[in-house]
């Protein structure tokens, strides 16, 4: 980096630290608030869009059909995705079939509906083992599937991103769409977990 570049970064660093320290001292932001945001976006985050899509698919059979036919368009109906949606394919879990998503080459991920990818999704271990031994790895991650269930592993790429449409748990008939969405986890939409009521 040039001397100018260093100076600019240094200035930016000073200003950011100054703003943060002042906001903390004045009680505008509590201790840990900024850390929590950064941590969430780096590790955890915001699959709320995807959850809304899943809940809509569970409660609206026509929407479900459109979602399975053209994921990007259907997701767009709810206002998600936009210019960066890429080609989204939705995979429906059903009797005897369980779908799980990986990106063996890098860490392609449908962030428009799932926020940022979790750290483990980006790990070499996940990326290689999910293709080689999905049943074992899923069990290690807490999802034990009966031998009779076919596991389909889908490899994402820059061109195609996958979203798993998990099975709607039993006993949720009385729940509203919003309540259903609250049950849906990012892990279930990647395929390493099921949705529990």
Partner 1 sequence: MTVDLAGDAAPPRRNGELVFEFPWEARAFGIAVALRSRDHYAWDDFRVRLIDTIRANEQPYYASWLQSLERLTLERGLVAAEELEARVAELEHADAHDHAD
Binding site for partner 1 (CB under 8 A): 8-9, 12-23, 26, 28-29, 33-38, 40-42, 45-46, 48-49, 82-84, 103, 106-111, 115-117, 122, 158, 161
> How far apart are CB 75 and partner 1 at their closest, in Å?
14
> How far apart are CB 110 and partner 1 at their closest, in Å?
7
3-state SS, one letter per residue, for 87-125:
EEEEEECECCEEEEEECCCCCCCCHHHHCCCCHHHHCHH
Catalytic residue among 2, 52, 108, 176: 108
> How far apart are CB 82 and partner 1 at their closest, in Å?
5
123 is catalytic: no
| Choice between 110 and 191, CB closer to partner 1 | 110
The SS3 assignment for 66 reads helix
CA 161 to chain centre: 11
Pairing of strands 87-92, 160-165: parallel
Q: Give the C-alpha separation, 40 to 116, whole Å.
A: 9
157 is catalytic: no
2 is catalytic: no
103 is catalytic: yes
Catalytic residue among 106, 123, 128, 176: 106
| Choice between 14 and 182, CB closer to partner 1 | 14
Q: At residue 151, what are phi and psi to the nearest 5 degrees?
A: -100, 125
| Choice between 13 and 65, CB closer to partner 1 | 13
Residue 137, CA distances (Å) to 46, 124, 133 in order: 24, 13, 6
**Catalytic residue list:** 103, 106-108
């Amino acid at each position: 980096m040039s001397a100018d570049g260093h100076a600019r970064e240094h200035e930016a660093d000073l200003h950011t630290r100054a703003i943060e320290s002042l906001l903390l001292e004045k009680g505008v932001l509590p201790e840990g608030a900024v850390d929590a945001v950064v941590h969430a976006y780096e590790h955890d985050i915001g699959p709320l869009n995807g959850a809304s899509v899943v809940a809509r698919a569970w409660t609206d059979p026509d929407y479900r059909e459109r979602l399975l036919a053209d994921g990007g368009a259907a997701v767009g109906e709810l206002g998600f995705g936009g210019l960066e949606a890429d080609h989204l394919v939705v995979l429906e879990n059903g009797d005897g079939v369980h779908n799980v998503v990986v990106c063996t080459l890098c860490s392609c991920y449908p962030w428009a509906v799932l926020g940022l990818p979790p750290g483990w999704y980006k790990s070499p271990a996940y990326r290689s083992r999910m293709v080689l031994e999905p049943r074992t790895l899923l069990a290690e991650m807490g999802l034990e599937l009966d031998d009779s269930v076919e596991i389909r592993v889908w490899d994402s790429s820059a061109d195609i991103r996958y979203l798993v449409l998990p099975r709607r748990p039993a006993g949720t008939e009385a729940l509203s769409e919003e309540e259903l969405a609250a049950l849906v986890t990012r892990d279930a939409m990647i395929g390493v977990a099921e949705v529990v009521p």
